[in-house]
Amino acid sequence: MNPFNPRLLRLVREQRGCSQTVVADYLGVRQAAYSKYESGAVTPSQDAQKQLAALFGYIPSFFTQKIDTFPSGLIYHRKRSALSSKERAKIEAEARLRMIDIQKMAQQQKLHSNLPDLSNVSPKEAAAKLRAQWNIPRGPIANMVETLENNGIVVLAFDFGTDLLDGFFVRLDTSSICIVLNSNEAFSPDRNRFTLAHELGHVLLHRDVMPDKKTEREADEFASEFLLPTEDIAPELRQAALTFARLKELKKKWMVSIAAIVFKAHRTQCMTTFAYRRFWTFMSSSGYRKNEPPCDLERETPALLRRMVVAQSKLTPDLPKFFHLTRERYEERYRLT
């Protein structure tokens, strides 16, 4: 059996968002003693390991998993000053723990993301090339989640419990990618789609590059071109006056925000700078800048992860054990995914 892995203990505690003191109290030890478990200075007794596993919804073998890398994407994500370090740690712990499951399944099921090397082309060119490689027909992308999943990219959606972070991506050992999406209600379906395209842009364009203002701009440019290819959208932007009613129509058709359409219109000279500025004044004064009219867009739901769990159940019948989860926790995690 592998030795106790203290990093996993810290992860499950952070995932729960509880302090060391709370867990120490539960075990009936002092916080100073408990902290030695997490630092690896002291290995908890078998009995304490059992208690800890039960507390967090795992079986004791969870703590003896040999995991060399804990894939994470949030680390590399642009720091949002408003996001507290505790919130950040909680989101990151949740994602990392889920990545352990996903990585195990991806390895056994030989999942590979279909991603060409586009690190040396412009964001605009990358969007066009990827659309071609993925055989995406011209016009709007009917379903962004499905498009990603069809190309071996896992979308993991959960509520981050905050609206200060839209999402991030994680590179798995298996050369596949997982995009972690915040399913918080504060975000509209079109915003989720843009986030997915934005993260996809980072995946393609920014291998081993630390995020800064430039990478953010490039990811946005990629997303804009991937969701709204200039060649396809420009004729529509020129076809009729860009009244608010017309913009709502375009939003419904292309499933992107009105703001993204107007940005594109200005970028492609389908809208004058004067009209662009006037538009933003209108958006601010009418409150649409914060909350655009929803235009009946449907929320897209991931399905690949669920399919992977089903496929895995055929390879390993005792899935809770495979994931080192209690049956209860397993049901909670995977029944609704």
**Residues near Zn ion, by CB under 5 A:** 216, 219
Distance from C-alpha of 223 to C-alpha of 260, rounded to nearest angstrom: 10
**Beta carbon nearer to Zn ion, 155 or 295:** 155
**Beta carbon nearer to Zn ion, 219 or 309:** 219
Residue 117 has phi, psi (to 5 degrees) of -80, 110
Q: Quote the least distance from Cβ 203 to Zn ion, whole Å.
A: 11
Q: Quote the least distance from Cβ 195 to Zn ion, whole Å.
A: 9
Distance from C-alpha of 161 to C-alpha of 170, rounded to nearest angstrom: 19
**Beta carbon nearer to Zn ion, 183 or 337:** 183
Tokens, residue 219: 């990811």
Q: Quote the least distance from Cβ 77 to Zn ion, whole Å.
A: 7
Query: What CA–CA distances, in Å, run from 298 to 94, 136, 189, 302?
Result: 26, 20, 6, 13
In angstroms, the first-to-last Cα distance of the chain is 31
Q: What is the DSSP string of 11-35?
A: HHHHHHT--HHHHHHHHTS-HHHHH
Q: Quote the least distance from Cβ 198 to Zn ion, whole Å.
A: 6
DSSP helix/strand/coil, 163: coil
Evaluate whether 127 touches 225 at the Cβ level (below 8 Å): yes
Q: Quote the least distance from Cβ 57 to Zn ion, whole Å.
A: 32
Evaluate whether 242 touches 251 at the Cβ level (below 8 Å): no
Evaluate whether 258 touches 248 at the Cβ level (below 8 Å): yes
**Beta carbon nearer to Zn ion, 150 or 215:** 215
**Beta carbon nearer to Zn ion, 214 or 277:** 214
**Beta carbon nearer to Zn ion, 219 or 256:** 219
Q: Which residue is nearest to Zn ion (CB)?
A: 219
Calculate Rg over the CA atoms of the chain. 23
Evaluate whether 93 touches 72 at the Cβ level (below 8 Å): no
Give me the amino acid identity at 272.
Answer: T
Q: Quote the least distance from Cβ 202 to Zn ion, whole Å.
A: 6
Q: Quote the least distance from Cβ 219 to Zn ion, whole Å.
A: 5
Tokens, residue 48: 């304490």
**Beta carbon nearer to Zn ion, 204 or 219:** 219
